[in-house]
Amino acid sequence: MGAVSELTHEYALSDQEMKSLTRLAQRMVSNPRGALGLDEFSPNDVPAELRRQLLAFSENSSRGFYLVRGIDIDTVPSTPERHGDAALAGHRTTGILATFAELLGSLIGYAEEKNGALVHEVYPVRGEEQRIENSGSVAFDFHTENVHHPLRPDFLGLLCLRQDHAAVAATRVASVREAAAYLTAEQIVTLRRPAFRSLYPLSFTRGSTGERPAYGPHPVLFGAEDRLFMRFNSHNTQATDAAGRAALRALTEALEQVVHEVILRPGELVVVDNHVAAHGRSAFTPRYDGEDRWLRRFYSIRAVPRWAEQMMPQPRVLPTLTDMHGVL
């Protein structure tokens, strides 16, 4: 059994547990058809205590994130240099990420994002330093993933393959359930109004020209008072009036009050509840020498409507928003 912290917000895998995960991951990536062998997954194959901890986290977490340490990431090639490079076909970590995604729900991708990839590569790209997305290296402020989308991920995971050279880049995670104590009742009421719009993120509009589309109106906060959820992107969520703008600023400040800064090291995975916690990234300086920071990401969702599943352009890839326009 792995080592469990008192507060059960993190878990250190034992050697035996990692061997079990490796066997499961290898079965997934060794599919002779080339696709991920997700039919090879069984929750019972996940080490029992790790499974229990993650499922408990997924049902109710006030902190909104869970850290797993001690993942054997195997040999890692040089960090890619160009956007869209696929350097890890068949790599063990693909199967490991799929295992965590399937335990929490179902591994998914989005047709408009990264060509529908199910596992995303996160590394800096020369010339894109200022972009507020995976390829940038400037600070990336608080956001819930794919805020504009009606079928947002329930969970996401970020696995570190390589740190930045100075080991200063932090994944910043902040829970709305902890931040609510720093908001007034009036601010919470304002943020519950369906009066906000969210621009499509740059990762969904890469290559497009003209004004970015927006989704809305939608609330920023929803759910019971003692079990709040959040839909918010500090870069892309906009208010239609002064009260809304003030409430968004207050939310950002409240999240700053409770932020946890996690400097991921190779072999560490942070799992984030995408409806409870916003996340971001501090700035770092890439060198473009093959040794830059490199994370891998998965999305997991608990349920996909049957009609959306049958509209998928390929298995597990949600259809475009254009195709779903007016349905959700």
The SS3 assignment for 84 reads coil
What domains does the chain contain, in order, with CATH numbers?
Answer: 3-169+262-319 (3.60.130.10)
SS3 251: helix
Q: Distance (Å, rounded) from C-alpha 216 to C-alpha 149?
A: 10
pLDDT class for 242, splitting at 50, 70, 90?
A: very high
Using only the alpha carbons of the chain, give its radius of gyration. Answer: 19
Residue type, 152: R
Question: Which of 32-36, 87-91, 307-311 bottoms out in mean pLDDT, i.e. has the lowest?
Answer: 32-36
CA–chain centroid gap for 29, Å, is: 22
CA distance 321 to 2: 42
Instruction: Give the mean pLDDT of 41-58.
Output: 93
Question: How buried is 320 (Cβ within 10 angstroms: 0-12 exposed, 13-18 middle, 19+ buried)?
Answer: middle
If we measure between CA atoms, which residue out of 270, 265, 239 comes closest to residue 252?
239
Find the mean pLDDT for residues 168-193: 97
How would residue 6 be classed by pLDDT, with cut points 50, 70 and 90? very low
